[in-house]
Structure 1
């Protein structure tokens, strides 16, 4: 870590005027390394050198769904690398590896950004809203890691009021410095506090900041969190196989990690689009020699701000996942989050509905599963239908199912739009 911090600080010291040269050089070095030392990547490219960066193929998750040993660079094995598995939130999970230097640089990047808010991983106490393995060994292993990592974990598979009451009790008795975890679970805790008219900072004065990750943070949810927690709310966007991708800086900008990653926004022909235009988020890991992540399609759609520079790219908007697209009878394709935005503004206005997800079961049929104090009213249902007709297209059929809880994946993430069309 000492070497990684020094290397990271050296990258930070590169002036804006020379940063593009740094990116070009580092991109070239990582590509040439994998062309020389990684049979998997050399076969993907089909030749030993590439002149034009934009001629490099885009690496997809499907191509990575093969044994890890097939994808490791020469000189690396599962014994001398960091190995982990993606969450599978995109529907395409796979095992990946990072060499030790790249993994250490990832942590240097994380420590640097959390430091913007006065958080020190060695001393700051974290309230962690995450999933946890339920088998005995996995559970104890994570609890030990939490203890060593100076954090207390709240498993998020049970988010009933009874459980949230226990969470609240911990905040009354423990000196937490910050909150970190999945957006939907933290939002649900904030709604619980709202019903009790409690400001979290007032009962846990040591709290400084809350970082939410892994799921979309909507503007009204961010307002709710700021109100009920009484602390700054920071939006984090990352991927376990890469690094922190973007992290909200103290000026409120979603600053892209340009130190260890190179982020592109590409069109359907794998060519870069101008800043301000929407496209697929494609990322290159500049230092991972054990495993190639070069022009890697992470599966998200986003927009870079027009003010972006090589050293300080700014993510203007994260629209959603490329596989979260609703196909409509008219032939129109609409991001699934469009439905979520429209219905959210209507069914959550009175605080009755705690959470909901939308599932597309047929080309014209959608089902909404929701958790609430009471059933949706006919007026709310009518309002949703009118909004959908207006924003998308008329004739779509919706059914509503009130649930005691919503299905989360094995890590506790809540997928807010699901297409069940083949």
Structure 2
């Protein structure tokens, strides 16, 4: 067991048992993938039906004669107190608790039982290994956000030390900061870049403007994993040319697991080990492979918290070439992002607003939806759906968070709605810029 796995084990996550379980799952899929999926999905459904009172309320005594009879879950269904959503015999102290990024505009707190969380990590370790990446040994350049408050910041930094990674501050992607990034690559033997697509692309554009190949500067570099946002073909080519390493595209959700991960054949392979991924139409009917629809995901092993036929908010297509054992995500619509351009000239990834909205996510579930609109370089409007108006204290907290993560002297206004406007695809974007400038 390496250092990273030992830390997981010390924290109460049974990683050794999870790795053994994952190998058993792989054998079962190879033997009869269809049987494995059928058995697993009904097992987790029946478990939550028996052990989770909140889920029984969502079922509302509807007759279930086939899988498609099971109602689709959304994030709105889960915006009640976490204690109300946990299954019998689980408590907030006995499970892994976290918050979603809220990139779709529906932030909420979720939980995984410790065995399920360990299985997620066992799966991620396995995915990385196929690309010759050892999570405990490969030094990672991490292009992710980080909390600004002292305690949370130090906790994340400590995690980074144990996970053998160095985190870049993506809240400021000005040329001066990107120059500092480059200096770190010259000094440190990074093997892997991992992080938000838009931030890595911004860094690559900076390198391109200077005609620098990152592989030449950092010869130890092996691969780059892009996540959380769409990776367009033009951006992939830019990254391949400028970084000089293999680009691996990841699609996942923190409340679930990695949903699809690019394999060594260049396919976006769907995770059918710990998840069931379906594509449904507007009426929630399952579509055949090759047709575009809403992605619906079932977490097969999370007993603490139900994610059964959970509508994640993205639209996609499962390839016609897919089999029960080997499923391929052909197309994904969503996860695009923008940058906020500030009066100082700083360029801030839109996902930074995750750290702003976190400041008002309360376990009461009062704030249902949030959207941030940049009206001008210095003016931002916060639109939200809530049972009650935000208090002066809450507004002050958001304003202070914006000053902390962005910069001072920005004008922030608030407006409460019963519903928020959505895109033509039905997706609620958490950040919209009305500026004509584009990063």
8 Å Cα contact 1:177/1:207 also seen in 2:
yes
Kindly state the Cα deviation for residue 233 of structure 1 after the two structures are TM-superposed. Answer: 0.4
Q: CA RMSD in A?
A: 2.4
8 Å Cα contact 1:181/1:212 also seen in 2:
yes
Q: Distance in 1 between matches of 2:283 and 2:302?
A: 26
2:42 to 21, 28, 44: 28
Normalised by the length of structure 2, the TM-score is: 0.76
2:181 to 146, 153, 167: 167
State the SS of the aligned residue for 1:13. Answer: helix
State the SS of the aligned residue for 1:180. Answer: strand
State the SS of the aligned residue for 2:28. Answer: coil
Kindly state the Cα deviation for residue 241 of structure 1 after the two structures are TM-superposed. Answer: 0.1
Kindly state the Cα deviation for residue 12 of structure 1 after the two structures are TM-superposed. Answer: 0.9
Q: Distance in 1 between matches of 2:60 and 2:323?
A: 33
**1:279 corresponds to 2:293:** yes
**1:240 corresponds to 2:258:** no
1:227 to 241, 248, 256: 241
**1:293 corresponds to 2:307:** yes
State the SS of the aligned residue for 1:14. Answer: helix
8 Å Cα contact 2:227/2:252 also seen in 1:
yes
Q: Distance in 2 between matches of 1:412 and 1:115?
A: 31
Kindly state the Cα deviation for residue 50 of structure 1 after the two structures are TM-superposed. Answer: 2.6
Q: In the alignment, what sits opposite 1:152?
A: 166
Task: Check 1:407–1:9 CA distance in 2 against 1; reply closer, same or farther (3 A cut).
Answer: closer
8 Å Cα contact 2:170/2:349 also seen in 1:
no
**1:176 corresponds to 2:205:** no
Q: Distance in 1 between matches of 2:119 and 2:299?
A: 11
Q: Distance in 2 between matches of 1:402 and 1:100?
A: 44
Q: Distance in 1 between matches of 2:294 and 2:262?
A: 20
Alpha-carbon deviations, 1:186-214, whole Å to 9, x = none?
00100111011111111111111000000
Alpha-carbon deviations, 1:122-168, whole Å to 9, x = none?
11110000111011111111111101110000010010111111111
8 Å Cα contact 1:130/1:412 also seen in 2:
no
**1:303 corresponds to 2:245:** no
2:212 to 198, 203, 228: 198
1:405 to 347, 351, 368: 347
Kindly state the Cα deviation for residue 182 of structure 1 after the two structures are TM-superposed. Answer: 0.3
Q: In the alignment, what sits opposite 2:75?
A: 61
8 Å Cα contact 1:36/1:48 also seen in 2:
no
Kindly state the Cα deviation for residue 421 of structure 1 after the two structures are TM-superposed. Answer: 3.8
Task: Check 1:16–1:290 CA distance in 2 against 1; reply closer, same or farther (3 A cut).
Answer: same
**1:120 corresponds to 2:134:** yes
Q: Distance in 2 between matches of 1:403 and 1:119?
A: 37
Q: In the alignment, what sits opposite 2:66?
A: 52
1:100 to 91, 106, 114: 114
Q: Distance in 2 between matches of 1:120 and 1:417?
A: 40
Kindly state the Cα deviation for residue 16 of structure 1 after the two structures are TM-superposed. Answer: 4.3
Paired residue total: 349
8 Å Cα contact 2:289/2:320 also seen in 1:
yes
Q: Distance in 2 between matches of 1:281 and 1:233?
A: 24
8 Å Cα contact 1:157/1:412 also seen in 2:
no
**1:109 corresponds to 2:123:** yes
Give ranges in structure 1 of 5+ residues lacking alignment: 322-336, 341-355, 358-368, 372-400
